[in-house]
């Protein structure tokens, strides 16, 4: 059987690892820092073990085209799920992949809408609404789903194609965590295509766009997951000692050299666990702290434009190698909404009266004159001067870049462009870089 170039990289990678026995001897629960172990309780995570098999035909209500999967290793985790690499023991016309990613939801979120979850509902709608839009290919596609009962309750399991690591890991290939601008432009275009599809075709708001939820995908990675023997993946998986042998460190399974040499990088927007419809919100308090839009903090109505705010912050972080806002007065203080709003005002200017007047919580932060009431004082600074100080983008490109980010971070939501409108921006409409420039962008830092 022909094996991809990545297979040889995997073999070299494994040859330097400890044996499974040695690894098991040194791993204990204190050496692994992943999901909260206390959430392995009634209503919480399902304890997944290497070698566990899940046959959806055993569970009531499943379609004839069922699936059977065997756990190979751990890919990641979230507050309400764990994600695992599995061998597909029963390929079908729906799930042809040799290996798949299984996302196990916690029991307390698996049936928040009666017999389903909003995440499951949205993913199925995204499949149903598929059209010729390029944005369809920028979203993780649900291949299969089923439910099962475990010691902690009844769980939903969602089946996806496995991909590479997230942008959070990918950017570590570059000095200062700064991804070269040509590559960022490519990522930005693809992400906007996905958002245009979500917002305009499906009326869906993601609400949790961050580096960890944007996954890297390349043809070479597809070959790795399709052609590499399962046994090689198994050698990467080292659970802690019993009785906690369901607990282990997440693994990428994609060798770093494959990422470094990939010219055809695609991205997939993943994790719709916090997503909602424009007309049906799970909660009004959304987004990670440092990515939270002003209208959310202030209690105003929000729709798709919260995703545009997140998008702008993600692109800034990729180019600059650091956050635009951290919501801290200084490095030793915790996040606070007061500090976050003060930073927004220092960088973006005064808050519009219209936003303050329409927000239900504005009186917590602003006085009757529209001035922030906190005693936090941050020296005004512009996005332009921040970029000039970092030197991340220079020349005419710098002004186009700063203008692009400024538009995404308009304090008044209705002044932010749509995803489709941003695709027409001067910064993204500059001549497309040749494919070799992407390769040079990476090889320059190897």
List residues with catalytic annotation.
208
Here the tokens at position 310 are 């997140």
Phi-psi region of 425 (alpha: psi -120 to 50; beta: other; left: phi over 0): beta
Cα(168)–Cα(175) distance, integer angstroms: 14
Write the DSSP string, 164-187.
--BHHHHGGGSGGG---HHHHHHH
The CA-based angle 382-388-389, given to 5 degrees, is 90
Backbone phi, psi, residue 177, to 5°: 60, 20
φ, ψ at 47 (rounded to 5°): -75, 110
H or E element, residue 70: strand 68-78
Task: Give me 211's structure tokens.
Answer: 């580096």
For 191, the enclosing helix (H) or strand (E) is: helix 181-196
Token pair for residue 398? 């710098």
Q: What are the Cα distances from residue 51, in Å, to 11, 255, 343? A: 21, 23, 49
Q: Are 14 and 22 in contact (CB under 8 A)?
A: no
Alpha carbon distance 338, 419 (integer Å) = 29
Q: What angle do CA 140, 141, 144 make, to 5 degrees?
A: 130
Q: Are 39 and 106 in contact (CB under 8 A)?
A: yes
């Amino acid at each position: 059987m022909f094996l991809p170039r990545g297979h040889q990289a995997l073999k070299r990678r494994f040859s330097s690892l400890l044996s499974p026995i040695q690894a098991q001897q040194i791993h204990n629960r204190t050496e692994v820092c992943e999901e909260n172990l206390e959430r392995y309780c009634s209503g919480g995570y399902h304890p997944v073990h290497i070698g566990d098999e899940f046959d959806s035909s055993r569970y009531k209500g499943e379609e004839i085209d069922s699936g059977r999967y065997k756990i190979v290793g751990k890919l990641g985790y979230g507050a309400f799920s764990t994600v695992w690499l599995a061998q597909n023991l029963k390929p079908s016309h729906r799930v042809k992949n040799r290996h798949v990613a299984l996302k196990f939801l916690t029991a307390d979120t698996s049936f928040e809408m009666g017999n389903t979850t909003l995440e499951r509902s949205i993913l199925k709608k995204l499949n149903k609404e598929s059209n010729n839009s390029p944005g369809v290919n920028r979203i993780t596609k649900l291949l299969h789903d089923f439910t099962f009962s475990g010691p902690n309750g009844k769980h939903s399991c969602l089946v996806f194609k496995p991909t590479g690591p997230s942008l959070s890991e990918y950017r570590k290939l570059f000095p200062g965590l700064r991804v070269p601008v040509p590559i960022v432009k490519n990522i930005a275009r693809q992400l906007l295509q996905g958002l245009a599809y979500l917002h305009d075709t499906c009326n869906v708001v993601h609400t949790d766009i961050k580096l960890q939820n944007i996954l890297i995908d390349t043809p070479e990675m597809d070959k790795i997951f399709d052609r590499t023997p399962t046994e090689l993946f198994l050698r990467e998986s080292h659970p802690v000692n019993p009785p906690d042998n369901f607990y282990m460190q997440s693994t990428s399974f994609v060798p770093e050299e494959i990422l470094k040499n990939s010219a055809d990088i695609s991205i997939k927007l993943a994790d719709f666990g916090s997503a909602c419809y424009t007309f049906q919100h799970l909660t009004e308090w959304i987004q990670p702290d440092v990515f939270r839009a002003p209208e959310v903090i202030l209690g105003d109505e929000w729709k798709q434009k919260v995703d545009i705010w997140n998008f702008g912050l993600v692109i800034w972080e990729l180019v600059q190698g650091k956050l635009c806002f951290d919501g801290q007065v200084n490095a030793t203080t915790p996040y606070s909404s007061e500090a976050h709003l003060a930073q927004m005002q220092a960088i973006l200017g005064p808050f519009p009266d219209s936003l303050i007047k329409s927000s239900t919580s504005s009186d917590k932060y602003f006085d009757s004159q529209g001035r922030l009431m906190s005693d936090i004082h941050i020296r005004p600074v512009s996005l332009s001067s921040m970029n000039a100080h970092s030197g991340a983008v220079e020349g005419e490109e710098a002004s186009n870049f700063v203008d692009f980010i400024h538009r995404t971070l308009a304090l008044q939501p209705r002044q932010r462009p749509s995803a489709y409108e941003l695709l027409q921006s001067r910064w993204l409409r500059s001549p497309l870089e040749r494919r070799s420039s992407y390769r040079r962008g990476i090889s320059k830092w190897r």
